[in-house]
Amino acid sequence: EVQLVQSGAEVEKPGDSLKISCKAFGYSFTNDWIHWVRQMPGKGLEWMGMIYPANSDARYSPSFEGQVTISVDTSISTAYLQWHSLEATDSAMYYCARQGVYGALDYWGLGTLVTVSS
Amino acid sequence: EIVLTQSPGTLSLSPGERATLSCRASQSVNINYLTWYQQKPGQAPRLLLYGASSRATGIPDRFSGSGSGTDFTLTISRLEPEDFAVYYCQQYGRTFGQGTKVEIK
């Protein structure tokens, strides 16, 4: 069974760095793109970027380019989303999802809630 | 960058009624790459339809999709209580529409 298991909720201060994770089970991790999606409180879904684990080819939405870093560790079938300096506006739920046929995101993690507050 | 605009923002309907949701793209979208998701409060999104009209595994046949070019439609033939949720369209695994909330009237 395909599962994406995300790391737990985080509470951070502005300026902190953070790396959240998404561990894949039940399929060949290297063969499918992994996407990250942001959802701010009470708002819609925003596509942040994606990575192809086999070669770490990462692509970003223009809105998030330079703001976050997406990476993988294929030895443990895990994708990461990283910030070097958090802002209060980064407070949101972050989902990882696997890309299936025709670009559809067919399996999703449960989300990681990130709260940034002084 | 393609912009997807969903309408209406909110749809107020009763169980048993038909729901018609629209997704309009700022430029033509390859029909194969238009996807619909459902999200309920406190849950992750769930894949409903891919390739504009193909139902994902386990999705009941009251959900259907149509369209091409810049105009796509998600139809729920008869609303069940569990269908009241927010629906998003997406193109090629990237840009999302802003969502349509289907609420109980």
**What 3-state DSSP class applies to B85?**
coil
Residues of B in contact with A101 (CB under 8 A): 50-51
Residues of B in contact with A38 (CB under 8 A): none
**In Å, what is the CA distance from A17 to each residue of A12, A48, B34?**
8, 18, 35
Q: Cβ–Cβ of A106/B50 closer than 8 Å? A: yes
- For residues B75 and B18, the answer to whether their CB atoms sit within 8 Å is yes
Residue of A nearest to B58 (CA): A106
B43-70 b/e (C-beta count within 10 Å ≥ 16 → b): ebbbbbbbbbbebbeebeeebebebeee
Q: Cβ–Cβ of A45/B37 closer than 8 Å? A: yes
> Which pair of tokens denotes residue A90?
């980064």
Residue of A nearest to B30 (CA): A102
Which of B49, B87, B94, B98 to probe the A interface (max A CBs under 10 A)? B94
pLDDT band at B74 (very low <50, low <70, confident <90, very high): very high
Judged by CB atoms within 8 Å, which residues 35-64 of B form the interface with A? 35, 37, 39, 44-47, 50-51, 56
CB atoms within 10 A of CB B31: 16
Please give the mean pLDDT across all residues of chain A: 97
Phi-psi map region of A111: left, alpha, beta (phi>0 left; psi -120 to 50 alpha): left
Residues 6+ apart with CB under 8 A from A28: none
pLDDT of B31 higher than 90: no
Query: Cα Rg for chain B, rounded, in angstroms?
Result: 13
Q: Are strands A34-39 and A92-99 parallel, antiparallel or unpaired?
A: antiparallel
- B40-73 pLDDT, tens digit each: 999 999 999 999 999 999 999 999 999 999 999 9
Residues of A in contact with B74 (CB under 8 A): none
- A91-102 pLDDT, tens digit each: 999 999 999 999
pLDDT band at A73 (very low <50, low <70, confident <90, very high): very high
pLDDT value at residue B93: 84
- A36-72 pLDDT, tens digit each: 999 999 999 999 999 999 999 999 999 999 999 999 9
Q: For residue A43, give how far its alpha carbon lies from the nearest alpha carbon of chain B (Å).
A: 8
As a whole number of angstroms, the distance between CA B105 and CA B94 comes to 32
As a whole number of angstroms, the distance between CA B80 and CA B62 comes to 9
Burial of B27 (0-12, 13-18, 19+ CB in 10 A): exposed
Residues of B in contact with A105 (CB under 8 A): 35, 37, 45, 47, 90, 93
**Tokens 């870093």 sit on residue:** A69
Residue B6 amino acid letter:
Q
Q: For residue A73, give how far its alpha carbon lies from the nearest alpha carbon of chain B (Å).
A: 22
pLDDT value at residue B32: 87
Strand partners, A116: A12
Residues of A in contact with B98 (CB under 8 A): 44
Q: Are strands A112-116 and A10-12 parallel, antiparallel or unpaired?
A: parallel
- For residues A105 and B47, the answer to whether their CB atoms sit within 8 Å is yes
